[in-house]
A and B are shown apart, each in its own frame.
Chain A
């Protein structure tokens, strides 16, 4: 079994220099291995550090110590020490991150927003467009919205556009930060299908899900992140 994510001895603390230097430790001695085709769901109460760990796996947060090794084809990259451009290369084709929030860029139409990550890989435009349309349809984003910028969409519509964008590339590693929060049952079910399809093609998935039905449907294993 191919280990896609290998987390060893990760610690993370935050120091708020402008609030009296308050310092608090969020992660301590975290160990986690995730293999291809497996979905690990991070479990624990609010504030336990689930999101912090997920962000560290995307190198969005810097860890205080320990190593996070991601598999990139035949290479293994420790993202806690890799150069920024190496991490950006990983994010382009190897590791995807989907949150419930879309970072809207003004003026860009929805279809383009969704297609862009795949276009950036040099994939033929028609292929990207078909895949984007398919994802938007499955996620019940009405076709009349595709040519508009998502900046004026409702929160739920933006969230589904963001999910479509997150699933347009077949990333070998997928990080999901509550992508189903506040979606209705039908759309939650679509996301469950997307996750299961990603697992079936061999993706290693790490996610945070508060809905129990989603968790049941996708998780191979729950990992407890305990509040410290």
Chain B
């Protein structure tokens, strides 16, 4: 991250989350979550299945209205926004431009029956690009950036491997230069070798573009590699949070200790 001693303190958070709660049933969902996310920061949300990670991510990314609490986002185009107090159309607008969402299953984030180029171009068109040649050139450029051969531009995602689909999803998101990306288990279900490549790519892009990222994962190695700080969730509550390596190397909460000690050493 591009923090320097001179400027770090003057920066305002990009996202401020205040006492956010969303429960489907007692213990199912997430409760009383508060944090600030700063520009260029990568926040990992870890915890086992059912701990409320994905519910929290959905509520943060304007896809699931919370029962209580606020999400304040400082938008480039619209200024300071109270997400759920505003219009639905505004949230849609954000999702197409300043935000990106990388889903665990590429099929949830891609249109599987149109070409790779069209998948990328669609986002550009949603923010007003009209020139076909430009759109195609940008699509090619982004395919290369995620290490997909640009001669695959007219192939459909169904003809791609799982790892390639995931990289295409990332390209589709990044083409509009978003400021904030939400990721839900982006490496879940991929082979280990494919995972390493994707992680390396993500890490590089995040640093180069100065993106802010909220990433949900149950894989602590992924969290260590990508996240600057962590929130550990259990049964809908944040039980511990802090600097990534501090949480993983000196866990304080019994649940975090259990998570960390359950990793197989090699």
Chain A residues proximal to chain B, CB less than 8 Å: 15-18, 55, 59-62, 72-73, 75, 84-90, 92-94, 105-108, 120, 122
Contacts and interface: CB of A to CB of B under 8 A. Distances in A.
Contacts of B253: 17
B4 interface: yes
Contact of A61 (B2, B38, B249): B249
Given A106-B200, A108-B200, A18 B5 contact: no
Nearest to B41: A85
29 contacts: A18-B254, A55-B249, A59-B246, A60-B246, A60-B250, A61-B249, A61-B250, A62-B246, A72-B5, A73-B5, A84-B229, A85-B41, A86-B8, A87-B243, A88-B3, A88-B228, A88-B243, A89-B1, A89-B4, A89-B8, A92-B1, A93-B5, A94-B5, A105-B200, A106-B197, A106-B199, A106-B200, A107-B196, A107-B200
A16 B197 contact: no
A85 B228 contact: yes
A28 B66 CA distance: 45
A89 B1 CA distance: 8
B126 interface: no
Contacts of B75: none
Given A15-B252, A88-B3, A94-B5, 12 more contacts: A17-B257, A55-B249, A55-B250, A62-B242, A62-B250, A75-B5, A85-B8, A85-B38, A87-B243, A88-B1, A108-B200, A122-B2
B8 A18 contact: no
Interface residues on B, range: 20 to 34
B146 to A, nearest CB: 14
Interface in B196-215: 196-197, 199-200, 203, 207
A106 B196 contact: yes
Contacts of B229: 84-85
Contacts of B4: 89, 92-93
A120 B261 CA distance: 32
B245 interface: yes
A72 B203 CA distance: 27
Contacts of A17: 253-254, 257-258
Contacts of B197: 106-107
A90 B243 CA distance: 13
B225 interface: yes
Nearest to A52: B250
